[in-house]
Structure 1
Amino acid sequence: MTDFGDVINAVGDLGPFQKWLVLMLSLANFLTAFPMFGQLFMVLDVPHHCKTSWIYAISPNLTEEQQLNLTIPRNTQGSYEECLMYAPVNWDIDSVIEYGLNVTKKCQEGWVYSAEQNPTLVTQFDLVCDRKELNDISQSIYMLGLLLGAVRKSLSQLAVQSQQDNLAWGLQSVLMSLGTEWVGVPYRSHAVIVTHCCFSIGQMVLAGLAYGVHNWRLLQIAGSAPVFCLFFYIWVLPESARWLMTKEKVKEAKKLLQKAASVNRRTISPELLDQLTPEKKVKSGNILDLFLKKRLRKVTLVMAYVWFVNSLVYYGLSLNVGSFGLDIYLTQLVFGAVEIPARFGCIFLLQWFGRKKCQGFFLLLGGAMCLIITRIPKDLPVVVTTLAVIGKFAIAASFSISYVYSAELFPTIIRQTGVGLCSMSSRVGGIISPLISLLDKYHPAIPMAIFGSTPVIAGILCFLLPETRDKELQDHTEETKESQREMWHMGRSQGVLAAAIKRLPS
């Protein structure tokens, strides 16, 4: 049986077929930026105050300024409180003016927004004050929807997946596996990371789109409609020939390989294809193998936690883009732009330093930045935003590395299951991330402390993993007979050498 890597070399490591495939995957990642972060610009904070029309029953001729002065308390900065009002009284207006009101309570009749304010989700559904938490809760519910699409499905199964966001993100593990398994070893990381750079470009385009379209309904339509194009990927994207071989679908795999070779203007010799046969008596991989086999158990637990932390911190920073003190559109643009060198630089860093060191370093760097933010006063928004940008840089790089690293750590026969499990862990992190932001009402430093400590732990755990740089993908959960034979001969040689040393005169 020939090695599958030899066949990919014959087809072409990165020919027109693979470039077309990477282009399609890049388009998918570009389009998914809006469903992920579009809501940020639909629930922007807007100036508001309690509705206090009760005062007009006492004195209908009051100006707006007089009404606010009499019925709304001021905060320590001297501006009107947004969520408090003076309790209504049955006094006459002269008594109210002379003695003033002292008892405050939460808004009872709703809120008043600026007349110049364009309609938003916040103004339409009063997502302010105590109802403001619904923003974070709704984002968690959205992430829960993404969790449903995290497990790898065949492309035919995706046809019945109607929710556009799940369709977009349910493709992720499939797309990553395709990009990894069709490309040769020298360009494996290139394929994955280029598609991730397109996701970053999508975030930058989102900033411009949101800046130009202020009507939240039009913004939703403009950002979401193109995502439906991903439905046609069911008929466009090829299946993985490597995966088909592990499922003993030899004819389908050979047909796809010949098609790829034709597109790449290559020719695969019939002898090479004839040698491409699945190994006999190899059990199909299943999710239990991830935990029952010692090596896979360590890989699964560590990588699942790494994906969880990446998602937790990545979305923790991204979804709080408006809370760092600077213009949200500019910050979103910078957040998207900084990811491009972070992700693209991984192509070279992974080759120079290996997967394990890069994964651990960027997790530690991202965690350190978040921990430092907890010690910076909020009246220094430039410093806070700069640290957040560095943290986003590090976590974005870590996220891209985890895709490449996971695809290389899991064997082909169970790769999509392993990556799907990691993706599920990632979605759990995404679900929890918006809820962690709610903890700032107990202490402002709590969310960033969590976002900082968890990646530090993950970075340390990464050094327990094996290195996969320049190594061919493993196809099965069990070692091949050749590998076992090599290990047996090596052990025997070491035993002979040790015996010979003992016989040497002292």
Structure 2
Amino acid sequence: MDPPEHGKTFDDALSHIGDWGPYQKRMLLFSFLACAGEGLQLITTIFTMGSRDFRCAVPGLANDTFSIQSEAHALLVNSTVPWDADKGGYSQCSRYKHVVNESTGEKTNWLPGATESCSRWVFSSDVFRSSIVSELELVCDRKVYVSHAHMMSMAGLMAGSIVSGALSDLFGRKKTFLVFYWVHMCLAFVSVLATTIPTFLAIRFLMAATGIAFYMSIYVLCAEIVLPPKRVLASMIASWGWVAGMIILLVMAYMFRYWKTLQLALSLLLVPGAFGFIWMIPESPRWLMNKGRYSEVQKIIVDIAKANKREIPEKLILRDMYRPTLGEKSEIAECRDQSTSGWRTLLSLAKSPVLAVRLAILSFSWAVNSMVYYGLTLNVGSIIQGDIYTNFLILALLEGLSYLMVLLLTRCLGRRVFYCLFVFIGGGACLATILPNVLSWDTVWPNVLLSNLGKFGISAAFGIIWLYTPELLPTPARQSGIGLCSFVGRLGAMVSPYIATLNDVLDGPVGESAPLLVFGAAAVAAGLLCLLLPETARRKLPETVEEAENIKRLTVTT
């Protein structure tokens, strides 16, 4: 059949020149690599800020080490640092007080039974040779700064998501991507120079902000050169890039146990992309259309057709994509209208009780998914028992598997059922971690298996909620609705580092499992609420508020 006389949209052009050929696959490879680079740096604190065993240092002993060096050293440690029977080791935050000679004012001995806070510590080198925690002494009263660092990363993700969208629309996807990528890479190198807590926190914020900014720019660019049916797969490829970054981080962290060496090695991996992406990545043709740069669009279309070994039909008049016929709106004009009215329409959803409740449930689900996902990922060394390297490997592999299951299951089956199923699996597994503690099992494997099962479930649920949310919202409010859910989700992620420290302030079996119990209870609550939402599988996207309201629970089209 002959092609249509005129192509009205860029999608029409893609249908002729190919929307899933070598050109798109090459771009998705770049998205994969960029997402891997973001993952390397965002969660590197799992190892650079890794938990290490420690105790109070012996005052005045310059060569004091965590490991006992000799009998004399053991005697000195025993006489200065109390034994903590509950934790089965020397006290980490207090030491014996000195006996002061009143006539001379000198500290001549130690006073067993009377303690004071430590001012210096020695750390174990069994797992990490050095870390930010040991270098900046982020322990005891200063341990909260570890949570602050994770919170600043989550705040950076929120800020970067907001800023990158505006800059990407203003200056283009490619320029925004390259600028933020270069800034991110420079910050990665500079981070090893952080010698104060405020500097370190500021760098964590900026690295997270620039990381999510360059990732979102390349992701949007890739989504704009494929047709809608392929965008789910494009999203999953980017997610697998994140998993690949986790694996690379694990290998590098196992090789380099000094945090500065690890940070520099990871930073070097970003250098090839900083130069290669300049020449390999084009500007988004849809953005160029929006700016009226039609000659550049036509050149890219020719490049796509050439790479995909397609011929541009003579009857496909590319210029007509930008010139609507009388009485019609162009694709770009419609997008502009939706962009300017999106938030206004989002506010109007409050007038619809049905959609207002759905949006509230979706926002809560995003907050819970973000809280549990980042809570389990960033605190793998503190709330999941066992070897940190083994646990992290299991987390990464299960996350990759969860994305594959999302891709396969949501293609032919429903969103709601599988979202609820996976979030119940994740929440139930987290809640079940209390059993090994209550029953006093001597092995760590039940905790490891249940915690990783919880991460698997929540990762799969997170993948589905990204697909499910836009299918429940009407077109005028869809982008703004996703933005609102993402914003609330970041708030949940910012809370997660503090929930992860509950086991430090609560005692007993319940206290030890407290973070996972909170994560599990929140996940189960989100699953129960989402049972109230309708199924969207095999339905077209709702265009109006009325169409969105008419999506009935448990009904799908055939």
Question: Is TM more than 0.5 here?
Answer: yes
Contact persistence 2:42–2:211 (CA under 8 A): no
Rounded Cα–Cα distance in structure 1 between residues aligned with 2:398 and 2:78: 45
- Structure 1 position 195, deviation (Å): 1.9
- Structure 1 position 380, deviation (Å): 3.9
Rounded Cα–Cα distance in structure 2 between residues aligned with 1:256 and 1:473: 29
Query: Which residue does 1:119 correspond to in 2?
Result: 130
80-89 vs 179-188, which moves further: 179-188
Query: Which residue does 1:496 correspond to in 2?
Result: none
Query: Which residue does 2:76 correspond to in 1?
Result: 67
Query: Which residue does 2:262 correspond to in 1?
Result: 219
Which one of the candidate residues 377, 396, 400 is aligned to 1:336? 396
1:131-170 correspondence to structure 2 within 5 Å: 131-151=142-162, 152=165, 153-154=167-168, 155=173, 156-158=175-177, 161=180, 162-164=183-185, 165=207, 166-170=209-213
Which one of the candidate residues 247, 252, 277 is aligned to 1:209? 252
- Structure 1 position 405, deviation (Å): 3.5
1:101 aligns to what SS in structure 2? Answer: strand
- Structure 1 position 112, deviation (Å): 3.0
Rounded Cα–Cα distance in structure 2 between residues aligned with 1:434 and 1:65: 36
144-153 vs 208-217, which moves further: 144-153
Query: Which residue does 1:390 correspond to in 2?
Result: 453
Contact persistence 1:87–1:104 (CA under 8 A): yes
Query: Which residue does 2:190 correspond to in 1?
Result: none
Which one of the candidate residues 467, 485, 495 is aligned to 1:404? 467
2:525 aligns to what SS in structure 1? Answer: helix
- Structure 1 position 19, deviation (Å): 0.9
Q: Kindly provide the amino acid, as one letter, of the partner of residue 27 in structure 1.
A: L
Q: Does 1:325 align with 2:398?
A: no
1:55-454 correspondence to structure 2 within 5 Å: 63-76=72-85, 78-90=88-100, 101-107=112-118, 109-113=119-123, 118-151=129-162, 152=165, 153-154=167-168, 155=173, 156-158=175-177, 161=180, 162-164=183-185, 165=207, 166-227=209-270, 233=277, 236-238=280-282, 241=285, 256-269=300-313, 270-271=315-316, 273=318, 274=320, 279-280=328-329, 282=334, 283-285=337-339, 286-293=342-349, 294=352, 300-323=359-382, 324-377=384-437, 379-406=442-469, 417-440=480-503, 441-442=505-506, 443-454=511-522
2:501 aligns to what SS in structure 1? Answer: helix
Contact persistence 1:84–1:104 (CA under 8 A): yes
2-11 vs 304-313, which moves further: 2-11
- Higher relative contact order structure (alpha carbons within 8 Å, sequence separation ≥ 6): 1
What is the identity percentage for the equivalent residue pairs of Structure 1 and Structure 2?
31
2:135 aligns to what SS in structure 1? Answer: helix
1:402 aligns to what SS in structure 2? Answer: helix
1:103 aligns to what SS in structure 2? Answer: strand
Query: Which residue does 1:30 correspond to in 2?
Result: 36
- Structure 1 position 128, deviation (Å): 2.0
Rounded Cα–Cα distance in structure 1 between residues aligned with 2:479 and 2:280: 20
Rounded Cα–Cα distance in structure 2 between residues aligned with 1:410 and 1:229: 40
Larger Rg: 1
Query: Which residue does 2:523 correspond to in 1?
Result: 455
47-56 vs 321-330, which moves further: 47-56
Rounded Cα–Cα distance in structure 2 between residues aligned with 1:345 and 1:221: 35
Rounded Cα–Cα distance in structure 1 between residues aligned with 2:217 and 2:426: 27
1:89 aligns to what SS in structure 2? Answer: strand
Task: Give 5+ residue unaligned stretches, structure 2.
Answer: 1-6, 63-69, 103-107, 186-206, 551-558
RMSD: 3.8
Contact persistence 2:469–2:482 (CA under 8 A): yes
- Structure 1 position 110, deviation (Å): 1.4
Deviations 1:200-248 (A, max 9, x none): 1221221111111012111111113434666565775455556777888
Per the normalisation by structure 2, the TM-score is: 0.73
- Structure 1 position 328, deviation (Å): 0.5
Rounded Cα–Cα distance in structure 2 between residues aligned with 1:55 and 1:242: 66
Rounded Cα–Cα distance in structure 1 between residues aligned with 2:445 and 2:295: 60
Q: Kindly provide the amino acid, as one letter, of the partner of residue 79 in structure 1.
A: G
Per the normalisation by structure 1, the TM-score is: 0.80
